């Protein structure tokens, strides 16, 4: 989950959107926020949105996306225009999501690793998804289309892949509110299986913050809202940025 949280602490530079369509406004920047405002975990996370433009953004449309996925993506892009929502990019290398100045000592020399939901180069066979953040509502949504390599029961996405995309979404939501966090608990109730190739909306929000504890909830629904596929609650713990992850895990 640590990788899931780090992964979302980066945003989209304007050029990534322009590669998709020059007419689409930049949704991943921090337009409208005051750079001189006091620092907060949310502001610090949003400030990462323009750190790097070197890596390929896998959260942009590709030929494997269904029409439902494209329509839902376009709908959220439209809501980005007034700054209410921010589009969050996704990269294959965990290290690309963390600015050098914010990396812990044991993160600086990582090689040969790959972020789990982006561990395939072939489009459409694994996790196809795009995330959007609503900072004022402390809410993160994920547009998710499971590919054939995620099959569990014949014709349906494996429950573990559903758990992964829920974990990634609530983790992203937590990090934009509290900064560096780590999963303490994730509880999922599966209601209806997700057909492979279908599109679902993973909707998460922060419910409560108590000290270093961040409580969240999440629902996975069909795009028409009629089918509840899964619901979850999660607890994340805010990490101490002056200590390594290993030190903090050992002290628990």
Dihedral (CA of 245, 134, 128, 97) sign: negative
Q: What is the C-alpha separation between 167 and 182, in angstroms, rounded?
A: 11
Cβ neighbours for 238, distance < 8 A, ≥ 6 positions apart: 41, 178, 179, 180, 181, 212, 213, 214
> Strands of 127-134's sheet, edge to edge?
86-88, 127-134, 139-146, 200-210, 213-222, 228-238, 181-190
Q: Give the containing element (helix H, strand E) for 74.
A: helix 67-80
The catalytic position among 96, 121, 167, 224 is: 167
Dihedral (CA of 96, 100, 106, 111) sign: positive
Q: Give the containing element (helix H, strand E) for 171.
A: helix 159-178
The CA-CA-CA angle for residues 23, 24, 28, to 5°, reads: 145
Question: How would you label 19-58 residue by residue, b for 16+ Cβ within 10 Å and e otherwise?
Answer: eeeeebbbbbbbeeeeeeeeeebbbebbbbbbbbeebbbb
Residue 16 token pair = 């990534």
Task: Say whether 224 is catalytic.
Answer: no
Q: Which residues are catalytic?
A: 167
């Amino acid at each position: 989950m640590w990788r899931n949280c780090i992964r979302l602490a980066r945003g989209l530079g304007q050029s990534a959107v322009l590669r998709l369509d020059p007419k689409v406004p930049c949704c991943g920047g921090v337009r409208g926020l005051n750079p001189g405002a006091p620092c907060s975990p949310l502001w610090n996370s949003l400030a990462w949105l323009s750190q790097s433009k070197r890596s390929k953004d896998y959260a942009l449309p590709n030929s494997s996306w269904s029409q439902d996925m494209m329509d839902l993506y376009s709908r959220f892009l439209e809501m980005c225009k007034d700054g209410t929502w921010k589009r969050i990019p996704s990269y294959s290398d965990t290290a690309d999501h963390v600015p050098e100045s914010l990396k812990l000592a044991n993160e600086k020399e990582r090689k040969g690793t790959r972020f789990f939901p982006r561990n395939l180069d072939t489009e459409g066979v694994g996790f196809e998804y795009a995330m959007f953040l609503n900072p004022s509502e402390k809410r993160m949504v994920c547009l998710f289309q499971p590919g054939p390599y995620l099959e569990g029961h014949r014709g349906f996405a494996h429950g573990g892949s559903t758990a992964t995309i829920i974990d990634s979404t609530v983790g992203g939501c937590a990090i934009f509110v509290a900064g560096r966090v780590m999963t303490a608990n994730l509880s999922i109730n599966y209601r209806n299986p997700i057909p492979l190739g279908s599109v679902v909306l993973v909707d998460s929000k922060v419910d409560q913050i108590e000290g270093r504890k961040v409580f969240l909830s999440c629902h996975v629904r069909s795009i028409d809202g009629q089918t509840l596929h899964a619901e979850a609650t999660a607890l994340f713990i805010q990490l101490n940025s002056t200590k390594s992850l290993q030190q903090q895990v050992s002290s628990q």
